[in-house]
Structure 1
Amino acid sequence: MKISVLIPTYQRPQDLERCLEALSRQTLAADTIIVVARASDTATWSVLDNWQKKMPINPVIVDEPGQVKALNAGLKHANSDIIAITDDDAAPRPEWLSRIKKHFMENPKVGGVGGRDWVHQYGRIEDDSRNIVGKVSWYGRVVGNHHLGVGEARKVDILKGANMSYRRSAIEGIHFNEQLKGTGAQVHNDLCFSLEVRHKGWDLIYDPKVAIDHYPAERFDEDKRDELNITALTNAAHNETLALLRYYPPIQRSIYLLWAFTIGTRVTPGILQAVRLSLQGGKNAKTMFKAVQNGRRSARKRWRKK
């Protein structure tokens, strides 16, 4: 089974350098490394010019902004049996590709494989642990925790964009959803894609040993890390809602929308969570609630027009 690695990148030459260096140390080398970049990103092209002499890199130009456009452009050039996707600010560990391939070889029902991303920030590595990873509850709560997962390999509902791979036959006819909002990261594009693969009947596997090191880098859009941005919050709520409306059957859609409006989460609050945040001194609780509901409302309108 041949393996392609797909990396979308934008204005992160030093991060991309680290990522390519990590890929050069894989115990199982990639057959092709597809790097998608903007034509105007000259610093990135300088990095690629150097690495093309050392590795089988296939550079792809994308003219439009946004991670979704970049990923879809890359998929058009990915002809291998397995397509492994990572971020430019990630550094896959040496056995990343060999462990991915092993899962696909052992079970023909496996459509996707992902693993833990060890997050490096603020001078430390996040080393907490969670057993529940990558699940979507029956009422609509999305649990990620991919960066904290421990235990054995198991089936999940969603994989994380920084560390996910797919069997090419499992994603035939699927592309990253270009209806998602956002000018850069377009949060939850991995949620949408994972659920589409699950909807086709394929298994998704999360294995903590399929590991990468993740160094969250600056984002060049409205979705800044660790900083509340109302536009980014509205976009995230829109994208999550659109993904779940596409995935759930009719009755569960209604349950999800009711839960999302009345309860929600601390990050995307409904009424009760907004009240709770307010009582705990959260100055932005009301603003967050409005932003989230605006995002969910726009997703419902878009869903009805499909």
Structure 2
Amino acid sequence: MNVDVTLYVPCHNGSPWLGDCLSAIRDQTLQPAELLVVGDAPGDDINQIAKRHDARVIDQEGNGGLSGARNVALAQANGELLATVEHEVVVSPEWLARLVSHFASPRVGAAMGRLRERYTARAADRWRAYHMTQDWGPGGLVNPPPLPETNVVLRTQLVRKLGGYNEGYPSNGTDYSFADCDLYNRLRMAGYDGVYEPSAAAEHMRSDSVASILTTYATWLQAPFEFYGDYSHEAGLGRKLLETVRQLRAALAQDQGNDDAPLAYLTVVALLRTLLVDLRISRRRSEAAGHPATAAQTAGAEARLRRQLLDIVAARNTRLPPTIGVHLDALLAPTRAEQSQGVASYDEPLPDLLLEVLEAVTVALDELSYELWRDLPTAGEIVSSEWLPASKGAQADVGAFQRAEQSSVRVAATEVETRDRFAEAIESWARRRSDQVAAVVLTGSLDFTPGEPGPQLLVITHDELSPGDARRWQKAAAKAAARAGGRSVPPLRHIPVYALGWVAPSAGVLDLRVAGRVIAGDPALLSLIPPVTPSQLPPAEGLWRLAAAAGLLVQLWPASGRSDRPTQAEIAGCARSVSMAGEGLLLARGAYRAHPASRRFGLATDHEGRPDVLAALTAVDVALAAFETSSSVSDYRELARRVVLDVAQLCGDWLVSWERPGASLATLCRTWFAWAGDRVGVPAAALALLAAAPPPQEPPALTSARQLLSPAPKKRTSWSDVRKAWMTQLASAEADGWPLLWSAAPTPGDRP
């Protein structure tokens, strides 16, 4: 086909590759009539390279981005066809001739060649090849989905008629924008076809760093949403966040299918980074427009989303968050103002929009296999070793980054060393029973943190577990943990796999879904548990949680006549009991939150102007502050007891004794027993025992405690004797699921 072709090369910081690019163009069997190099303030090196290859250099006059460079070339072009090759692409000798041949048909408006990656050994380059591919395979196509213009030929007058390239689309520092896809869409709407010709081969010559490839990818996803203003309002931001999860969920499936752990690790980092970038862009767009930030746009929301995203990762492999955290810091450092704003509102709850995103992320990560999660920490080390691109002089920078990163990872890892030893011991214990154990789930904190829940273990078994096996497993797990560092093991709860889908809504199930960490077995099993929302939780569970708080205090109470000062561990237990009382109040009001930080925020805000609720919430808040900051509290146990009993009285008036408000706590306990049956005998007795603990606040409560236990202790026994009988029955009750963890709270009509 005899036709004049103008070929241009847009060049931004491209001198390392430009010589090879122009040499390949001059080796074409079909030579272009004119060869242009378009750059923003091109230096002497660009001019010299272009001169050697008989190319004319056009100054873009300021960096107008890739779209601007294309429009400059369009205005200068004299050829009937307009061809373009990016500065880091090398084309084969037949490239131009094979693409031009398609324009013999008047329906063809654009033709593109097959672009392959020269470098694929390193994870970042391989990630580009798989997830940002411009290689549509060995077969020719008419109208492929996108037609990016890394190597393409178009009809010059057609592009001018369509208005050229839309410079409103953003372009990042690596010269990528959405404007080429936008032009292709307009070309198709005008009735023209695009052609993909695989025999017109080209190679992409650049080796990417992790930062450059993830930045480029985020910009690809960002551009259309940016153009249509979606970042400026919450509905549009929600669409963008969920589209990010959808795209990278598909990428994770591809990585798993290819059994490529380093790529899967990069995709997880890309998922977390892109979501956080979206929030940051949205916040800055609102600030630029002078609009107040929505709840999802604040720096605090970004900080909380990051923390909860890492919690989701930790639930599947506790060794990953330190490394991912370091990589996120390297990729996405916030400004000082954003960092201080994030810390200031760290404990506020996430808005519903971001909770929906977290649920989508959980579903995406649950689809990865146990074997892949197991391999991701090693994959993270591989990514660290390949952090910078494979270019001259990069080795020293790689070494410096690795040393800095390894130091940061060591610091972060030290903070979880004890927890990891415990998790490793339980994992080893479960691995020896893999024929019976499908997974072990850990919830709660392994640190003595005032007010925070302690560790709880749920064993998911392949089949039903007998009580005898459960006791033997408890002893074996305790020995394994003791060898790992002396940490005690909480009671083992167990549930067969087939029952996971039938678990009733409870606060424990909500905690499992949000903060459960699979420390052994298949992480995907957690996805079998039905999703739970706070509105589904039964208010009666509030009394159950209060009873557990009372039981914790009863076990910490000294013998009659003793006034010893509590140890630090006992102080932590007192603080936890107060925190559990607050949780019970939230459950009774239908305002429970899954994350501890969100619960603390709820305790400070969810009183709806009611003086009685406000007084109870204030008491909880003041007590927790005293436990955390003060050494002048004279009696920690007594402070905790007052808070727990006051909140129990309030909740009991709401939930049990509504026809007799103001009744004594002992009466409320007996009413609860009559309402819910024998299952609450031990919990109700715990509340009564706490009320009767020396010095007793409610002396008749000891009689109620004795009556609630079965078999009941002898009459006229002391508080210590009743507590001893209660402790004996507590061991049996714990095997049946008390304190409540993941089974449903008893309600009227529930009978054993």
Match among 149, 166, 170 for residue 177 of structure 1: 166
Change (3 A) 1:155 1:239: same
- In the alignment, the residues of structure 2 paired with residue 86 and residue 22 of structure 1 have an alpha-carbon distance, to the nearest angstrom, of 10
Change (3 A) 1:40 1:296: same
Q: Which residue pairs with 2:38 in the alignment?
A: 36
Q: CA deviation at 1:99?
A: 0.7
- In the alignment, the residues of structure 2 paired with residue 77 and residue 218 of structure 1 have an alpha-carbon distance, to the nearest angstrom, of 32
- In the alignment, the residues of structure 2 paired with residue 217 and residue 283 of structure 1 have an alpha-carbon distance, to the nearest angstrom, of 19
Larger RCO: Structure 1 or Structure 2 (Cα < 8 Å, ≥ 6 residues apart)? 1
Q: CA deviation at 1:58?
A: 2.6
Kept after mapping to 2: 8 A contact 1:6/1:34? yes
- In the alignment, the residues of structure 2 paired with residue 58 and residue 266 of structure 1 have an alpha-carbon distance, to the nearest angstrom, of 44
2:138 pairs with 1:154:
no
2:16 pairs with 1:14:
yes
2:274 pairs with 1:288:
yes
Q: CA deviation at 1:98?
A: 0.7
Change (3 A) 1:206 1:285: closer
- In the alignment, the residues of structure 2 paired with residue 122 and residue 211 of structure 1 have an alpha-carbon distance, to the nearest angstrom, of 17
Q: Which residue pairs with 2:188 in the alignment?
A: 198
Q: CA deviation at 1:214?
A: 1.4
1:195 aligns to what SS in structure 2? helix
1:239-258 superposed matches below 5 A: 239-241=223-225
Match among 175, 178, 197 for residue 188 of structure 1: 178
- In the alignment, the residues of structure 2 paired with residue 183 and residue 118 of structure 1 have an alpha-carbon distance, to the nearest angstrom, of 22
Kept after mapping to 2: 8 A contact 1:191/1:240? no
Kept after mapping to 2: 8 A contact 1:113/1:206? yes
Letter in 2 for 1:120: R
- In the alignment, the residues of structure 1 paired with residue 274 and residue 244 of structure 2 have an alpha-carbon distance, to the nearest angstrom, of 11
Kept after mapping to 2: 8 A contact 1:238/1:295? no
1:156 aligns to what SS in structure 2? coil
1:268-283 superposed matches below 5 A: 282=268
2:99 pairs with 1:100:
yes
- In the alignment, the residues of structure 2 paired with residue 104 and residue 218 of structure 1 have an alpha-carbon distance, to the nearest angstrom, of 34
- In the alignment, the residues of structure 1 paired with residue 73 and residue 20 of structure 2 have an alpha-carbon distance, to the nearest angstrom, of 20
Change (3 A) 1:225 1:16: same
When normalised by structure 2's length, the TM-score is 0.31
Match among 56, 59, 82 for residue 58 of structure 1: 56
2:213 pairs with 1:237:
no
Q: CA deviation at 1:265?
A: 4.8
2:171 aligns to what SS in structure 1? coil
Kept after mapping to 2: 8 A contact 1:118/1:212? yes
- In the alignment, the residues of structure 1 paired with residue 132 and residue 158 of structure 2 have an alpha-carbon distance, to the nearest angstrom, of 22
2:197 pairs with 1:211:
no
State the percentage of identical aligned residues.
20
Q: CA deviation at 1:34?
A: 1.3
Q: CA deviation at 1:177?
A: 1.6
When normalised by structure 1's length, the TM-score is 0.70
- In the alignment, the residues of structure 2 paired with residue 284 and residue 98 of structure 1 have an alpha-carbon distance, to the nearest angstrom, of 39
Q: CA deviation at 1:233?
A: 6.1
- In the alignment, the residues of structure 2 paired with residue 83 and residue 211 of structure 1 have an alpha-carbon distance, to the nearest angstrom, of 18
Letter in 2 for 1:198: R
Report the structure number with the largest CA radius of gyration: 2
Letter in 1 for 2:222: H
- In the alignment, the residues of structure 2 paired with residue 115 and residue 209 of structure 1 have an alpha-carbon distance, to the nearest angstrom, of 7
1:121 aligns to what SS in structure 2? coil
RMSD over aligned Cα atoms: 3.7
Unaligned runs of 5+ in 1: 131-142, 247-255, 274-279
Letter in 2 for 1:288: T
Q: CA deviation at 1:266?
A: 5.6
1:194 aligns to what SS in structure 2? helix
Change (3 A) 1:217 1:208: same
Change (3 A) 1:154 1:235: closer
Change (3 A) 1:27 1:283: closer
Change (3 A) 1:284 1:32: closer
1:204 aligns to what SS in structure 2? strand
Q: Which residue pairs with 1:3 in the alignment?
A: 5
Q: Which residue pairs with 1:73 in the alignment?
A: 72
Deviation string 1:259-295 (CA, Å, 9 cap, x unpaired) is 755454565679xx9xxxxxx9846645522434676
2:101 aligns to what SS in structure 1? helix
- In the alignment, the residues of structure 2 paired with residue 183 and residue 286 of structure 1 have an alpha-carbon distance, to the nearest angstrom, of 20
Comparing 257-266 with 208-217, greater Cα deviation is found at 257-266
Letter in 2 for 1:151: G
Change (3 A) 1:170 1:8: same
More helix by share: 2
Q: CA deviation at 1:72?
A: 1.2
- In the alignment, the residues of structure 2 paired with residue 292 and residue 34 of structure 1 have an alpha-carbon distance, to the nearest angstrom, of 37
- In the alignment, the residues of structure 1 paired with residue 98 and residue 270 of structure 2 have an alpha-carbon distance, to the nearest angstrom, of 44
Kept after mapping to 2: 8 A contact 1:23/1:94? yes
More strand by share: 1
Q: CA deviation at 1:77?
A: 0.8
1:36 aligns to what SS in structure 2? strand
Q: Which residue pairs with 1:27 in the alignment?
A: 29
2:200 aligns to what SS in structure 1? strand
Change (3 A) 1:51 1:295: same
- In the alignment, the residues of structure 2 paired with residue 190 and residue 296 of structure 1 have an alpha-carbon distance, to the nearest angstrom, of 24
1:221-232 superposed matches below 5 A: 224-226=211-213, 228-229=214-215
Aligned length: 258
- In the alignment, the residues of structure 2 paired with residue 284 and residue 21 of structure 1 have an alpha-carbon distance, to the nearest angstrom, of 36
Deviation string 1:136-163 (CA, Å, 9 cap, x unpaired) is xxxxxxx974224221342224212211
Unaligned runs of 5+ in 2: 230-235, 254-263, 290-752
Letter in 2 for 1:213: E
Letter in 2 for 1:77: Q
Q: CA deviation at 1:171?
A: 1.0
1:76 aligns to what SS in structure 2? helix
2:118 aligns to what SS in structure 1? strand
Comparing 11-20 with 1-10, greater Cα deviation is found at 11-20
Change (3 A) 1:92 1:233: closer
1:120-159 superposed matches below 5 A: 120-122=118-120, 145-159=133-147
- In the alignment, the residues of structure 1 paired with residue 5 and residue 269 of structure 2 have an alpha-carbon distance, to the nearest angstrom, of 48
- In the alignment, the residues of structure 1 paired with residue 243 and residue 44 of structure 2 have an alpha-carbon distance, to the nearest angstrom, of 46
Q: Which residue pairs with 1:164 in the alignment?
A: 152
Q: CA deviation at 1:213?
A: 1.6
